[in-house]
Structure 1
Amino acid sequence: MNVIKRQNQSGIVSIMVTMIMMVVISLIVIGFAQVARHNQRETLDRQLSTQAFYAAETGVNDVVTAIKSKHLTLPLPVVPAYNTNCNTFITNNTPVSNQLDGTNVSYTCVLINDKPDSVVANVPLGKSIVVPLHMNNSNDGTLNISWPANSSAGSSVSNCPYGSNNIDAFTPSTIWNQSGHSCPFGLLRLDVYHDTGSSYTADNMANNSVAVYLVPAQHKSPSDKIFFSGPGSSVYVKNVQCTNSVCSGKISNLKKHAADYYLRMTSVYQNAGNVTITGASGTTFSGGAIVIDSTGRAQDQLRRIQVRIPLTDSNGLTVPANSLQSPTAICKRFDINGSGTSAVPDYNTLPQPLCK
């Protein structure tokens, strides 16, 4: 009698199951390892990026130190070029090494522009900011002024009161900022003073000063010229073109070449934010601020920053909006009207006394 013996294949099944388990576990381990390496690399990149940013800031600080110590004098020479060659400042004017000792952290490129094509100043609500403007290569004596909408207002330019070219364009703050229908832009006042460099008497300064009110609107101003003709006709109200994000205005008839101006900017109703001033094509501004472009490197990470550094105290000077300010009523013995100003010797003789 023949007995057929069956082969026991349970060992092969166990081997196959074990191999599959090993493959699955290996894939899981490899996946976790890749995630861990990725997180580690991200952490390292963030650390290196921060170091590169600090290195770029060091480049800016070294430029400021060089200017304050007179190691770098302004205006900058045309040759060697500081605004196009990354190595000019690093090679010729760095007071200290541009690389941190024992590390691969350094700033690799520094560009300095002492004649930028724009001027930027932050103008908060109710405060005056003075900006010096020395215009170079101006072809037509034009200034373009733009400022952004106040994001906190959260409204549309269509809510801005219609402005006409007269003083009556101004409305009460409660109307300008009424709930749900507020105008997102501030009304920008510009006091333009032409510094002739000669006499600084009251009459001379009055004859070389104008006040321009740029009123947010949805149409362009029909005229943008201003004239320095004395205090009797030195106030202009101009409508400017606005979208929901930015207002843009223009004033012209300024001196065209190498003219010195001081611009006092005041925002009414809303914060004006960063006000940007540019000229015609090719116009640059000097004496007010310099633009420093610095690139830092930490191993394979690069960070590039650009900052504007004021050269005079007037850039950050907050000028009072009034020569006299009081939290209570003030008794005055003069009358201001559309035809001018008149003194009142004896206010009690008037039908409507100014002081009670």
Structure 2
Amino acid sequence: MHKNTINTRLGLAVGLALLSNLSFAAEISGLHFIYKDWELACDNTGACRVAGYQADEYLDRPISLLLQRAAGGNTPVVGRVKIVKEQIPISSKQLEILMLGQSYGTVSVDEKTGEGKLSKGQTEALLKAVQSTQPIVWKADGLEWRLSTAGASAVLLKFDDFQKRIGTTSALIRKGTQSNDKVLKTQPLPLTQMKHYQRGMAKRLNVNDVQAKRLALILKKTTSKEDCWALYDQNFLSEDQITIYPLNRQNMVVEAPCWLGAYNYGYGYWVMDKSLKQIQQFVTTSASSFSEGQIFATQKGRGIGDCGTQDEWAWNGNRFVKTYQVIQAQCKGFVGGAWDMPLLISKVREVQ
């Protein structure tokens, strides 16, 4: 089973409503928001993560700050900093923080990850400093990393708005005197139970086989030429196949190539009956693979560091439900992204 859903990563455009057939009927929709050098991702439990980066003119020395806070009235804000591990000074693992012309001590960074945790006092001071126009400077052994504050206030205000904190004593930006009684409450992590999944041998058809062509005619009825042009134009590569995976006694999963781009490709996935005549569910045209009752989609963007998206679906005995979603929009020199910033997280458990 995929590590993302086993570990249920807690800590990327778009509001995301949870599907009603998750075992817990969550009411919180995920949120993603970017402004200048800052980015916000809030998930279906109500937790939010804010990431700030250096300005583009300092891309040779990447740095990112993560501010994370769960929903709930008096939950703390946890701050972490990250630099590219290859740039950690050999003689010192301590980064000194300079904010508004004053030193706020040091943060120790892990030599394997480049990450370090801020103290409560440093985090509180930083929340005030990022609302200024002055960059926050981190120093070690004569080197400097400059965290941009451009966009921070707008993103933090969105953070407060999502968690219904504006005007309350727990707000980050617009504090007030209102109590925290109506602040967004934390929602439990939803559970998707994988039921009645039966492993078996996959059947692979050349796209020019008679059966493959017959399947293509059925599959394209549930999608569009824009989303799955390969099915419509029959414009396949020589090695392309339509693959049929066993799902259970009644259903099969059909995988077909849909599109190919400069950096990405997309497969379509459908649940069909055993005779491959009826479509039970259309899932997506932008996934990458199927394995052990789950569908995975990983798409790259073309920002610095190859940002992108990740989505996952799991079979719950009746249909595939989305269990995980991340949009990594600003990598800014961190290959694959500096932090996990999900919009949707859940537990996935296989039930025999």
User: TM (normalized to structure 2)?
Assistant: 0.24
Q: Which has the higher helix share?
A: 1
Q: Larger radius of gyration, structure 1 or 2? A: 1
Higher relative contact order (CA 8 A, sep 6+): 1
